[in-house]
Amino acid sequence: MRKLNIVVTGGAGFIGSHIVDAYLALGHRVWVLDDLSSGSRENLNGEAELIEGDIRDGNILDRLGSTRLDVLNHHAAQADVRRSVSDPAFDADVNIVGSLRLIQRVMEAGAHRVIFSSSGGAIYGEPVTFPQTENHPLLPVSPYGCAKLAVEHYLDYYRLVHGLRSVSLRYANVYGPRQNSRGEAGVVAIFSERVLKGDPLIVNGSGEQTRDFVHVSDVVRANVAALELDLDGSFNVGTGIETTLNEVVEVFRNASGREIRVEHAEARKGEQLRSVLDGTALRELARLPEPLPFTSGLSETFRWFEERVS
């Protein structure tokens, strides 16, 4: 494969920084576009070039000068579902309008491919069938999910009308090293930090709600496959395995070897009770390995957090 010029938005963040590392290891030239509002300079690969700014700035990529782009990997987002509920207009401004400005600009700069970070749980809503395949009804129950789905539809438009190739990767609950404990999506990171501080783990509701936990290394493999294979459309990135929050607590007990206290809080209104994605389609097309088991991935992730605080 020829060496490509790639922009990774959100490339200083949890998932994006791992993808930057992988693309650089393959010999590509990478620019990171990030406003550092949730990303960290510590995550930045020294071989990548940082463009610090907001994706809503239509002129942000002018800093590339005459460089011809090949690929946009778009991971920057307003990712707080609760904020999307309290301020849908802000969420849409960042996640829809900001994305459209960016896609239009990279297309004008010569890009022929977009890899978009979408969301399985947020787009599908409460499961009708288990596990949820790419053909599951699209029933988002939050403005965040609506925005992700809208961008997928816009990418369909750009593909049909302008010939811009695109892949939307619908993630399950991603976890792993570099995850930020701020925000509602990082339960593994939140629990890791609380265990290390000796604080009780807060479980909302009964703890029997389920999630599909996919390790960031499997997400990186999906993004490499999306770059290297001639694919279009939307694909799940998940394990197909449901894990309850109560089970997560038990895995933490085994991984940490520590005494763990649990406190139950009120269930969150509108929280999905079940979420599990069938990632078979992409794994078979790309000949990817089976996902990393949650017990192994969590142990690795907890050790990473442990090393940071020791």
Residues with catalytic roles:
144
Query: What 3-state DSSP class applies to 232?
Result: coil
Distances in Å between the Cα of 98 and the Cα atoms of 10, 58, 217 are 13, 8, 27
Cis peptide before 131 (omega within 30 of 0): yes
The residue behind tokens 């961008």 is: 151
Q: What's the DSSP call for residue 146?
A: H
d(CA 169, CA 115): 7
Distances in Å between the Cα of 142 and the Cα atoms of 23, 120, 133 are 32, 13, 20
Report which residue type is found at 282: L
d(CA 157, CA 163): 9
How many CB atoms are located within 10 Å of the residue 62 CB?
Answer: 11
d(CA 119, CA 100): 17
Report which residue type is found at 272: Q
d(CA 219, CA 132): 17
Distances in Å between the Cα of 176 and the Cα atoms of 42, 93, 214, 242, 255 are 16, 29, 9, 17, 14
Query: What 3-state DSSP class applies to 238?
Result: coil
Report which residue type is found at 275: S
